[in-house]
Structure formats: structure tokens, C-alpha cells
Amino acid sequence: MITQPLDFEKPIFELEKRISELQHLSSVGEIDTAEEVEKLQARVKKLLTETFSRLTPWQIAQLSRHPDRPHTQDYFSLIFEDFIELHGDRCFRDDPSIVGGMAVLGGRSCIIIGHQKGRTTKENIQRNFGMPHPEGYRKAIRLMELAERFKKPLITFIDTPGAFPGIEAEERGQAEAIARSISTMTGLAAPIIVAIIGEGGSGGALALAVGDRVLMMEHATYSVISPEGCASILWRDGDRAEKAAPLLKMTAQELIQSQGIIDEIVKEPLGGAHRDSEGAAKLLKDALLKHMKELDGISIEELPKRRFERYRKIGPFTEKK
């Protein structure tokens, strides 16, 4: 059962809470609640199906940030084996908002990198709420180059509101670090798979999202700006985020229709990844293995050429004379 329900999840949460209470009564032998529990479970399943079949873009944006949603390190532990984390950018410091290192997927060694948020207030402060500083991107670049040097597949996990916008980040070259990360991924002589697992916010996400395959979890988002930021610009009112969300075309269902932006929507368990982390990880793992196998059929020399052409074609337009 989820611990922090969103507003539209509260009717489901109340039913699940009632089921938990009845199961407790049954376990201590006070009353036989099996029949009532079965009826409530059927109602929960029906309500989940109805609710999650008609989500609005704003509700999906809320789900992408859900506090119970699995983060990068959760997927690392559920999908990969023998993960060895590497730290530091060899220049300034280690940035905990980006994690990465070596791991094994399906018996094959690879390099994995991703944004990392926290769950508690203390963890979020430590991880800077998943918003990297320049040294985070420089650490990621170091790992990307490691993948190329040892001819290993690179897999990145995207989950960030955006790069940290503070003065100190700008002083240490935030824009340059993001640009160099994008440039490195564009020309990297290694297969790259990108998985957008939560928020994909602005250049902070794109810095790790240039790939040969871009996968997106069903209830993730990917956009140049947050709904709140868009509303602040358009109407000088961040509280109108719900109105701005549909304008951004930020959901997986909308982006799969935009040529070349994402390649596949990875389904989530009924009710979202935050209700079943293990189930979500299994579905994502299957998708990663499938695309890794497909990329094995393309030569290392050909991959950067195809990647470059892929991104050149995004955003087609026509000119009228």
C-alpha cells in the first residue's frame, strides 16, 4: 500500500487502508474477513483501472514525481548485478545527485548512470533534490568515456526536475558541462540506451538523454520546462500548472507520436510504478535487454552516425515560399 497518496489516489488509498485493517483483524483471529476483503480488492482493482485509464497530463506529471516512485538506485539494485559505484569528477568533488558505475545486465558488463533523488528531507538535501551541479555532469562524462574506452554499453536513467540553477553552479560552468555531456553522448562510440523513469526536466535531463534508443516509463514526463515554470512564464502564476501541463506535450503517450523523440513506452504495473517497484523493474529490464540485443547488430563505427542523424531529424518543418 502506498504511503503518500496523491489527491486522485485518495479514494483508492482509503479502500486499501480498510483492506489492511480487515486483514489484521483476521490475522489475530477476531473475525473472518475473507469475503469482505475479496469484495474490496475487486473494487480497488476496478477503481485503479478506471482512474489510471483517464489520467490528465497534470496527473501524470504528479505521478512522475510521486514520493513512493522507484528512483535510479532502486532500479540499479532490482535490474543489475554486481554494481560498483564510481565517485567524483576528478576536478572538483563528487555530486551525489548523479550516481553511476559498472554493473552487469543479462550476463553482460555495462556502464550505468542516472539522476538520484532522495526520499526523506535529509536525503533530498544530500542529493540536492536530483538537480545536478556541473561536477555531476563531469562525473557522468568520465563514465561515458569509460564505456567507450572498454567498449561497454551505456545505460542512463533520467529523473530530474532540471540542472541546479544556483549561482555557484553557474560559476563552475553549468552550461558548459551540460553542453559537453550532450556532445560526448552524441559522438560516443558505444551503444547508448536511455530510460526516462520519472521527471525528464529541461537540459538537466537532456545532458544524459542522447541515445540510440530512448525508452520512457508509462507515467514519466519529458519536457523543456516544468508545468509550474511554464505557467509562471505564460501567466505569471505558477499555480496554473494544471492548465500548462497539456500545452507542453510532456507525457509518454504524446511523445511517442513525435517522430524520433522516444522509441518505446515501457508499461508500468496497474496503478503506477510506485505501487509495484519490482514489477516495474522487471518490465524495464525486459525492454533494456531487448534494445541492447538490437543494438548489438550495429557496428560501433555506425552508431554515432545514426545517432547524429536521429537528432538532426527531430522537429521537422516546412518552408512556404
pLDDT at position 30 over 70: no
pTM here?
0.92
150 phi, psi to nearest 5 deg: -100, 10
* Residue-wise pLDDT tens digits, 221-241: 999 999 999 999 999 998 999
88 phi, psi to nearest 5 deg: 85, 155
Q: What is the pLDDT of residue 278?
A: 96
* Residue-wise pLDDT tens digits, 86-123: 999 999 999 999 999 999 999 999 999 999 999 999 99
Q: What is the pLDDT of residue 198?
A: 96
Instruction: Indicate the average pLDDT of the chain.
Output: 93
Q: Which CATH superfamily is domain 61-312 in?
A: 2-enoyl-CoA Hydratase; Chain A, domain 1 (3.90.226.10)
Angle between helix axes 10-27 and 34-52 (nearest 10 degrees) is 160
**Amino acid type, 124:** N
* Residue-wise pLDDT tens digits, 198-209: 999 999 999 999
Q: Which helix (H) or strand (E) holds 82?
A: strand 81-85
| Coil, helix or strand at residue 206 | helix
pLDDT at position 51 over 90: yes
Instruction: Give me the torsion for CA of 168, 170, 172, 173, rounded to 10°.
Output: 170
* Residue-wise pLDDT tens digits, 131-155: 999 999 999 999 999 999 999 999 9
Q: What is the pLDDT of residue 19?
A: 87
pLDDT at position 245 over 80: yes
Closest CA to 295 of 221, 215, 200, 217: 215
Q: What is the pLDDT of residue 33?
A: 75
Q: Taking a C-beta distance cutoff of 8 angstroms, is the pair 123, 79 a contact?
A: no
Q: Taking a C-beta distance cutoff of 8 angstroms, is the pair 159, 71 a contact?
A: yes
**Ramachandran region, residue 261 (left: φ > 0; alpha: ψ -120 to 50; beta: rest):** alpha
Q: What is the pLDDT of residue 320?
A: 80
Q: Taking a C-beta distance cutoff of 8 angstroms, is the pair 78, 276 a contact?
A: no
pLDDT at position 1 over 70: no
Mean pLDDT, residues 273-302 taken together = 95
Q: What is the pLDDT of residue 28?
A: 66
Query: Can you tell me which residue has the cell 485509464?
Result: 53
| Coil, helix or strand at residue 207 | coil
- Cell numbers of 133, please? 551541479
Q: Taking a C-beta distance cutoff of 8 angstroms, is the pair 141, 185 a contact?
A: no
Q: What is the pLDDT of residue 173?
A: 94
Mean pLDDT, residues 212-220 taken together = 97
Half-sphere exposure of 200 (CA within 13 A, CB side): 32
Q: Taking a C-beta distance cutoff of 8 angstroms, is the pair 131, 161 a contact?
A: yes
